Amino acid sequence: MKILVAVKRVIDYNVQIRVKEDGTGVVTDNVKMSTNPPDDNAIEEAVKIKEAGKASEVVAVTVGEEKAQETVRKALAVGADRGVHVKVDGTLEPLAVSKILQKIADKEKPDLVFMGKQAIDDDCNQTGQMLSALLNWPQATFASKIDVKDNKLEVTREIDEGLETIEINVPAIVTCDLRLNEPRYASLPNIMKAKKKPIEEIAASDLGVDVSPRLEQLKVEEPPKRKAGIKVANVAELVQKLKNEAKVI
Ligand code: AMP
């Protein structure tokens, strides 16, 4: 079984996001970037499945500018076998990324594509679903447990009502939740070894995919500042304030 894992380079989750003064986006210059957190879970799960003898190869793929390759290197340092970097400048919408990933899936012929449930920069939660539609493969989203069973997968998904367990046929797309596993850290020797693992570079323009945006971004602005809270002495005062001031009960 071959597993393709999509990893995206995003602003690190610890960074305090700042909006550009002209409202055209967020500041990315000199800002720490990292792998999108659920994509680390996707890589971890693929590597664990390989370690359990149920997968033969794990291939990490990223779509993005030159520096996006760092995310592939990190995936190689925690156990992926090789990488693919589809080079493209500028911000891409999920539809463009999923069309590019479709081309990579056509070429690589994986049995499984693991992705994050959501990218923390655009919060779209669309790329996996769109890829599933383009490839016409089954999908299991928000996976918090994955069991590989011959040519099927048993996936537990987090839903509003609790946990749902579904069985899907392979080939399939799985988008991974943060609760799926605990991603390992890359050890120094493995970081050094990863430098020797191959990364194939492909120009997005060579894939014949239309990556032009379908959405027009009007403005990016900071959320309104929250007012300071107050402390109440007891439940009676809380109820009185909710009733008479906030008027919510
Ligand atoms: P999104 O639909 O933007 O919330 O992204 C969901 C998932 O799709 C991410 O967690 C990644 O696994 C994958 N993905 C999105 N954009 C990229 C990209 N540029 N390169 C690689 N994977 C991506």
- Which atom from ligand 1 is nearest to the alpha carbon of 130? 2
Confidence of residue 123 (pLDDT cuts 50, 70, 90): very high
List pLDDT tens digits, range 63-78: 999 999 999 999 999 9
pLDDT of residue 184: 97
Please tell me if the CB atom of residue 127 comes closer than 6 angstroms to any atom of ligand 1: yes
- Which atom from ligand 1 is nearest to the alpha carbon of 122? 3
List pLDDT tens digits, range 189-232: 999 999 999 999 999 999 999 999 999 989 999 888 888 888 99
Please tell me if the CB atom of residue 36 comes closer than 6 angstroms to any atom of ligand 1: yes
| Tokens 């989750």 belong to residue | 13
**Residue whose CA lies nearest to ligand 1 atom number 6:** 118
**Coil, strand or helix: which one is 138?**
coil
pLDDT of 106 over the 90 cut:
yes
pLDDT of 146 over the 90 cut:
yes
Confidence of residue 4 (pLDDT cuts 50, 70, 90): very high
**Ligand 1 center to 115 CA (angstroms):** 7
> 2-244 — its CATH code?
3.40.50.620
- Return the number of other C-beta atoms located less than 10 Å from residue 204's C-beta: 20
For the chain, the first-to-last Cα distance in angstroms comes to: 56
**Domain-wise residue ranges, the chain:** 2-244
pLDDT of residue 152: 95
Give the whole-angstrom CA distance, residue 128 versus residue 142: 10
